[in-house]
């Protein structure tokens, strides 16, 4: 593919810590999110899943096997059961034991951070619970007052999903919160129109590398573009050239160092 034309407004204004500073710390743990805040990340990304007793926890995979010393599906375990597992030591490299992070603990961290940080929440398994994940997510955000605009931070919370069904539910529950449609590959309609009310496109970096023109078309159509997961310096450069607004990265400190005040 030819190099994409340089476009103006090449300014990444948001560096989003993917599962926290997850290159350095065990993903989705308090340690990873505290590190991300310390590193200067503008926003924290997390995935949410529902436990068997209806609590939201920050876990990416359907099962706990990869990131803990337990086995089984998150949705089959209660929060108490998850709480007994170690979600830290698998990472090695000196990372000690870590507890599962309940979503309300992450909201407490965001609310009490020493400087304003925003939150990009992704809902997983949209079909399994028929809307319970989305309802509980919005309920928690409202409890913490994070559904309201914060002065100087027009989109303190962004709601993300690969699922149009989930985004539609969220639009009904909390129309005021900006929504991000994630995708790994092109799907019909991309580049011209996203589902009604979706303001932000969230393509994966492989797609952006393969089809940089897609980002330009999305921007020309008025959409903001948030790309994941951008860890390599060349990919950060590409995102800068394309006028991407946010990069979602496991390495927020390195990306911030690279972009400086560009």
Say whether residue 45 binds ligand G3P (CB under 6 A): yes
**Which residue carries 């069904």 as its tokens?**
165
**The only residue of 24, 39, 42, 122 in contact with ligand G3P, by rule CB under 6 A:** 122
**Which residue carries 């019909």 as its tokens?**
188
Query: Measured on CA atoms in the order 39, 249, 246, 200, is the torsion positive or negative?
Result: negative
Catalytic annotation present for 28: no
- State in angstroms the smallest separation of the CB of 110 from ligand G3P: 16
Pairing relation of β-strands 179-183 and 200-203? parallel
Catalytic annotation present for 60: yes
Tell me the CA distances in angstroms from 43 to 113, 171, 205, one per residue in order. 11, 21, 18
Pairing relation of β-strands 179-183 and 118-123? unpaired
- State in angstroms the smallest separation of the CB of 162 from Ca ion: 9
* HSE-CB for 161 with a 13 A CA cutoff: 24
Backbone conformation region of residue 131, classed left if phi is above 0, alpha if psi is from -120 to 50, else beta: left
- State in angstroms the smallest separation of the CB of 58 from Ca ion: 10
Q: Which tokens hold the place of 255?
A: 């990306």
248 binds, among Ca ion, ligand G3P, none (CB under 5 to 8 A by kind): ligand G3P
**Contacting Ca ion within 113-152 (CB under 5 A):** 122
In the shown chain, the binding pattern of residues 15 to 44 toward ligand G3P, with x for contact by CB under 6 A and - for none, equals: ---x--------------------------
Closer to Ca ion at the Cβ: 121 or 216?
121
Say whether residue 248 binds ligand G3P (CB under 6 A): yes
Nearest-CB residue to Ca ion? 122
Q: 18, 23, 168, 226: which is the annotated catalytic residue?
A: 18
Indicate the angle between helix axes 103-112 and 132-143, nearest 10 degrees: 30
- Which stretch of DSSP H or E encloses residue 204? none
182 binds, among Ca ion, ligand G3P, none (CB under 5 to 8 A by kind): ligand G3P
Say whether residue 47 binds ligand G3P (CB under 6 A): yes
Q: 1, 23, 28, 60: which is the annotated catalytic residue?
A: 60
**Which residue carries 């949209």 as its tokens?**
126
Closer to ligand G3P at the Cβ: 18 or 224?
18
The whole-angstrom separation of Cα 176 and Cα 157 is 10
Q: Which residues bind Ca ion (CB under 5 A)?
A: 47, 122
Catalytic positions, written as ranges: 18, 60
Q: Which residues bind ligand G3P (CB under 6 A)?
A: 18, 45, 47, 60, 122, 182, 228, 248
């Amino acid at each position: 593919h030819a190099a994409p034309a340089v476009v103006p407004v090449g300014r990444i204004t948001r560096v989003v810590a993917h599962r926290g500073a997850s290159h350095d710390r065990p993903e989705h743990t308090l340690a990873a999110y505290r590190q991300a805040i310390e590193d200067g990340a503008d926003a924290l990304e997390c995935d949410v899943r529902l436990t068997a007793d209806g609590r939201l926890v920050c876990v990416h995979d359907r099962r706990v096997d990869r990131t803990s010393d337990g086995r089984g599906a998150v949705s089959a375990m209660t929060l108490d059961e998850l709480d007994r597992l170690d979600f830290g030591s698998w990472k090695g490299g000196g990372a000690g034991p870590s507890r599962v992070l309940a979503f309300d603990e992450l909201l407490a961290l965001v609310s009490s951070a020493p400087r304003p940080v925003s939150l990009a929440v992704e809902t997983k398994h949209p079909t399994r619970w028929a809307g319970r994940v989305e309802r509980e997510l919005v309920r928690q955000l409202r409890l913490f007052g994070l559904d309201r605009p914060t002065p100087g931070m027009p989109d303190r919370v962004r709601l993300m999903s690969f699922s149009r069904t989930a985004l539609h539910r969220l639009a009904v529950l909390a129309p005021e919160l900006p929504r991000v449609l994630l995708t790994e590959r092109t799907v019909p309609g991309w580049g011209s129109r996203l589902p009604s009310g979706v303001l932000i496109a969230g393509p994966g970096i492989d797609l952006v590398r393969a089809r940089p023109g897609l980002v330009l078309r999305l921007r020309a159509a008025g959409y903001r573009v948030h790309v994941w997961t951008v860890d390599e310096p060349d990919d950060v450069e590409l995102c800068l050239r394309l006028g991407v607004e946010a990069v979602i990265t496991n390495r927020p400190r390195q990306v911030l160092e690279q972009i400086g005040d560009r």
